[in-house]
Amino acid sequence: MYTFAEENYIKAIFKIAEREQNSVGTNAIAKVMSTSAASVSDMLRKLSDKGLIHYEKYKGVTLTHDGSRLATQLIRKHRLWEVFLVDKLKFRWDQVHDIAEELEHINSDELIRRLDVFLGSPKFDPHGDPIPNAQGKFTLRNQVTLTDLQLEQQGVLVGVKEHTTPFLEYLNELKIGLGTHMKIIKINAFDESITIIINQSQKHNISKKTAANLQVKVVK
Amino acid sequence: MYTFAEENYIKAIFKIAEREQNSVGTNAIAKVMSTSAASVSDMLRKLSDKGLIHYEKYKGVTLTHDGSRLATQLIRKHRLWEVFLVDKLKFRWDQVHDIAEELEHINSDELIRRLDVFLGSPKFDPHGDPIPNAQGKFTLRNQVTLTDLQLEQQGVLVGVKEHTTPFLEYLNELKIGLGTHMKIIKINAFDESITIIINQSQKHNISKKTAANLQVKVVK
DNA sequence: GTTTATTTTTAGATTTGTCTAAATTATGAA
DNA sequence: TTCATAATTTAGACAAATCTAAAAATAAAC
Ligand SMILES: [Mn+2]
Ligand SMILES: [Mn+2]
Ligand SMILES: [Mn+2]
Ligand SMILES: [Mn+2]
């Protein structure tokens, strides 16, 4: 139906639109796709012709209903495959993104329906990201980033914003994973780094940048 | 590393070379790939440049060592995925070929290594075809086609030559699958059709063409 | 051993996705 | 408001994979 390239652009547009609120610009897409603005312009015309985006020259783009559905289905497939790789094939959470990036393009509704059943219809992937259901609806969850917590407050890690291998390997070294309990015991005014206690035992000092990529559920 | 198109050509050449003994011609490849002889000529030059085939104009091709290894690895991936789809996701054997045709191109040695372990290192796929090991070696097996059996001889189905959905669905209707016991009780001289008894109960008359696509292990 | 017929290759085009360089439009600072 | 800068699109080109039509090489028939 759609080429890999088209699908990857649609996913990129969806993800940019998720954080920025307004319409998505050519340069922003070029950056995410690691390509030139000229190539993006070419592709936007094509995606518009196929009815996946609303596009007016120089005005940026938004996804159409069809584009939005395609994006959520790709995200659903990507995250279900990640669950498969970690739960069934015993990959670590830092190894699965690139493989899922290929698997997400396999074209079979029946395959995804059965994979979902096989995995027990998981609601979150190995990085804590919600898996949209077959209708594209995401499960919402109360969460804040670790930087939002006050001194002495506690939280349980439920997600990570950054998915790159170096970041996840760093968390592995620190023995931080989904479900890890964290308590803020010091906030350094100088560089905004924070000191935390992991699972009531290990003490670590982490940068603001790291903390900003950790999503936690507050516990009392 | 290689494009999907290149991989599919290499697989096609391997499969043709498997039955015909001599070097593989342009038209034979074009037929298998459902494309024009001109397109095949273009691609052969490319595959030769990449060191995957031995190619001399007008003389047909053979796979190089690298080409042969690529082919067996693709077949290994294809058949392991078919086992996954049938054993784990409960697809029927007639539903899995096309999906595996896509999955075989996913690029990760670690993925296949782990998939193999997860599936218990199966030696045969859902159609009874041998799965080459990581070194490309196939498990051999004593087998003949059903047309080779004499009157009153018995066999157990261990493989099918044809993998198309219509053929496999026809076998489903007849309740014939891998492991099915068959005894020849009549050979019709006129059209060479044969009458068999399935699992000591059901009686069926099947055409010579059907019989020629059933591979059995002889039992005494 | 010529002459057909078949097989295979080349020529010239097309589509997809990409590029660099240049032109155009929009924006924001003075 | 005008001018400089940034964002975006267009122009022209290229590699990959395909096509049809035509030419060339090989094989088969007589
Ligand atoms: Mn992708
Ligand atoms: Mn993920
Ligand atoms: Mn294939
Ligand atoms: Mn098979």
Asked whether the beta carbons of residue A91 and residue B103 sit closer than 8 angstroms, the reply is: no
Q: Which of B85, B72, B74, B79 is nearest to B4 (CA)?
A: B74
User: Which residue reads 């052969």 in tokens?
Assistant: B44
Confidence at residue A22, expressed as pLDDT on a 0 to 100 scale: 85
Using the structure, give the distance in angstroms from the CA atom of B37 to the C1' atom of C4, rounded to a whole number.
21
What pLDDT does B152 receive? 94
Q: What is the mean pLDDT of chain A?
A: 96
Lookup: tokens for A42: 């070419």
Pairing of the two strands B53-55 and B181-187: unpaired
CB B82 within 8 A of CB B125: yes
Q: Is A89 on the interface with B (CB under 8 A)?
A: yes
Q: What is the pLDDT of residue B220?
A: 83
Residue B109 CB coordination number (10 Å)? 10
- pLDDT per residue over A68-120, tens digit each? 999 999 999 999 999 999 999 999 999 999 999 999 999 999 999 999 999 99
What CATH code is assigned to B144-219? 2.30.30.90
Report which bound ligand comes closest to the CA of A32.
1
Interchain CB contacts (distance < 8 Å): A and B: 38
- What is the arithmetic mean of pLDDT over A146-170? 95
Distances (CA, A) of B13 to A6, B22, B50, B125: 31, 12, 15, 21
**Nearest-Cα residue of chain A relative to residue B102:** A106
DSSP B218: E
CA of A102 to the centre of ligand 1 (A): 6
Q: What's the confidence (pLDDT) of residue A17?
A: 96
pLDDT of residue B20: 85
Residue A20 pLDDT > 90: no
Residues ≥6 apart with Cβ < 8 Å to A26: A37, A40, A41, A44, A60
CATH of domain A4-63: 1.10.10.10
Most B CBs within 10 A among A78, A103, A104, hence the mutation to make, goes to A103
Residue B21: the pLDDT is: 81
The residues whose Cβ lies within 5 A of ligand 2, an ion, are: A 82, 125, 127, 129
Kindly list the strands in the beta sheet with B202-206, ordered across the sheet, starting from the edge strand earlier in the chain.
Answer: B144-145, B214-219, B154-160, B181-187, B194-198, B202-206
Contact of A102 with chain B, judged by CB distance below 8 Å, is answered with yes
pLDDT at A94: 97
Cβ contact A106–B99 (<8 Å): yes
Name the pLDDT band for A21 (thresholds 50, 70, 90). confident
- Closest by Cβ to B102, choosing from A85, A89, A106: A106
Q: Does the beta carbon of B113 lie under 8 angstroms from any beta carbon of chain A?
A: no
Is 90 exceeded by the pLDDT of residue A3? yes
Of the candidates A127, A139, A18, A1, which has an alpha carbon nearest to the alpha carbon of residue A68?
A: A18
Spatial contact of B62 and B53, defined as CB atoms under 8 Å apart = yes
pLDDT along chain B (220 residues), means of 10: 96 94 93 96 96 95 97 98 98 97 97 98 98 96 95 96 93 96 94 95 95 95
Distance from B165 to chain A by nearest Cα, in Å?
Answer: 16
Q: Could you tell me the residue ranges of all domains in chain A?
A: 4-63, 144-219
B50 touches strand D (CB under 7 A): no
Distance CA B37, CA B27 (A): 6
- Res. A220: pLDDT tops 90: no
